[in-house]
């Protein structure tokens, strides 16, 4: 069964460093998303991406964040200068279509720890 994959599973970085989180969405899906879950809190939407551009972004997704689809398979989230409060589980998701009724398939997540 097709699945969303994410690498690495765990990333430890120093405050101020840049990190890139990688995702491979399901191959025939067109819409891609990043969410994050700070420990003990709810899952929060960061950004959606379609047709090589950002569709929507939340207020969390500030200038420190960027997304890219560098090739036909990968979808990346970059944090330019990490802060302690960026420590969270980051989930990538994809869906076949961008309508409300379509299921978003989630990857296993990348746990980011900023020291």
Partner 1 sequence: AQSVTQLGSHVSVSEGALVLLRCNYSSSVPPYLFWYVQYPNQGLQLLLKYTSAATLVKGINGFEAEFKKSETSFHLTKPSAHMSDAAEYFCAVSDPGSGYALNFGKGTSLLVTP
Interacting residues with partner 1 (CB under 8 A): 4, 33, 35, 41-45, 48, 55-56, 58, 91, 93, 98-109
Q: In the 8-state DSSP scheme, what is residue 90?
A: E
Hey, is 6 helix, strand or coil? strand
CB of 78 to partner 1, least distance (A): 20
**Residues 6+ away with beta carbon under 8 Å from 101:** none
CB 33 within 8 A of CB 94: yes
Phi, psi dihedral angles at 102 (to 5 degrees): -80, 135
The minimum distance between CB 22 and partner 1, in angstroms, equals 15
Give residue for tokens 């939407």.
45
| Least gap, CB of 61 to partner 1 (angstroms) | 11
């Amino acid at each position: 069964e097709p699945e969303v994959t994410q690498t690495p599973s765990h990333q430890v970085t120093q405050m101020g460093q840049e990190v890139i989180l990688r995702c491979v969405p399901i191959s025939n899906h067109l819409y891609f998303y990043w969410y994050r879950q700070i420990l003990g809190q709810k899952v929060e939407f960061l950004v959606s991406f379609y047709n090589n551009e950002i569709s929507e972004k939340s207020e969390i997704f500030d200038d420190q964040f960027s997304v890219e689809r560098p090739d036909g398979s990968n979808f990346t989230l970059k944090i330019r200068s990490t802060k302690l409060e960026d420590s969270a589980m980051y989930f990538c998701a994809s869906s076949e279509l961008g309508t409300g009724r379509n299921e978003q398939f989630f990857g296993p997540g990348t746990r980011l720890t900023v020291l």
